[in-house]
Amino acid sequence: MGIGAIYTPVSPQLLSVKYKITTCVFLLLVVGIGCTTYEEQRDRLPDTPNRGQIRISVDETFKPLMDELVQVYQSNHPQAKIEVDYKTEADCLRDALSDSVRLLFITRRLSIEEKALLADSLRLNARSLVVARDAIAVIVHPNSPDTIFSMEEIKAILTGNYKKKLIPVFDGIKATSTVRFIVDSILKGNSPTPDAMAARNSEGVVDYVAAHQEVIGFVGVGWVGNPEDSLQMSFLKKVKVAHLESADKKGAYVKAYQANIYAKRYPMVRDLVYILKEKHRGLATGFAHFVSGELGQLIIRRAYLAPAQKRLGIRPVKLNG
């Protein structure tokens, strides 16, 4: 039998139908193989907003507040473990270039150059948000006769030109957010007096001021501003918190109280900012959203800092007697 005898012509219409059926079956197989449930996709991730383990870098100035925020978050999410490294601000910024650290808490946003370096090195765009207002408190020895200062007097102390011998003590001479704020915002780029001293950390500043009457300390208000915190109450028994001249009324002097920080009447106010550099929606994202959300902002308010993402109601109070 010849070749022509076994050939059966097929209509173009039938070929088109067979092609469409084959294509559909192939696509269904591909989609079926590629599809997974949300739970399956979630379980493949190293962490989610509610579970997993991460390490974050935090400016040491905010240790009292951050300890409480982490404790509450982990209590609400038992499968989440957040390990906090408390460092100088400069060390935290160095961690921004590390893949292992996806969340930072510092006192400023990234510069344009830092964002570009991050995008080039890690191929990601960092997100940032101001979550609170903080302040730098000025502390003196409990027996010090000087507890009220104008900002001109603070500048004179910082540069070594004050009428009395008062040596400034910082939480580190270099690399800390406190020193950076003082140099950039108070001294406008000038250097502090060479007599300035550096303590080991914020707690070290409190201890040194408590033991030496001839010094004056500069610390984040989160270490001495919460009268409901037992550790801070013990600090407040050892030192005095000074009044500074109000930023909005010459001749009026205010402490770094919450309302004065919120309204920026206190003259040395700064931000607390998170830098989020997570590529997926993981535990760093979950914790960052918690800090900026309702409960996190309430914790910030209870710590006597000023929440930045929730309105802080301030009511006038009339004292009788």
pLDDT, one tens digit per residue, over 287-317 is 999 999 999 999 999 999 999 998 765 555 4
173-188 average pLDDT score: 91
Q: How confident is the model at residue 38 (pLDDT cuts 50, 70, 90)?
A: very low
Q: How far apart are CA 58 and CA 93, in angstroms?
A: 10
The pLDDT score that the predictor gives to residue 231 is: 85
Q: How confident is the model at residue 65 (pLDDT cuts 50, 70, 90)?
A: very high
Task: Set out the domains of the chain in order of their start, with CATH numbers.
Answer: 46-133+271-307 (3.40.190.10), 134-269 (3.40.190.10)
The pLDDT score that the predictor gives to residue 16 is: 55
Q: How far apart are CA 188 and CA 64, in angstroms?
A: 29
Reading the block at residue 172, the tokens are 């580190």
**Residue 2 above 90 pLDDT?**
no
**Residue 4 above 60 pLDDT?**
no
158-180 average pLDDT score: 92
Q: How far apart are CA 141 and CA 224, in angstroms?
A: 14
- In 3D, which of 54, 29, 174 has the Cα closest to residue 104? 54
The pLDDT score that the predictor gives to residue 39 is: 54
Q: Which residue has the higher pLDDT, 287 or 20?
A: 287
To the nearest whole percent, how much of the chain has pLDDT over 90?
A: 71
Q: How confident is the model at residue 139 (pLDDT cuts 50, 70, 90)?
A: very high
**pTM of structure:** 0.82
Q: Which residue has the higher pLDDT, 76 or 125?
A: 76
DSSP per-residue string spanning 51-80: BEEEEEEEEGGGHHHHHHHHHHHHHH-TTE
**Residue 102 above 70 pLDDT?**
yes
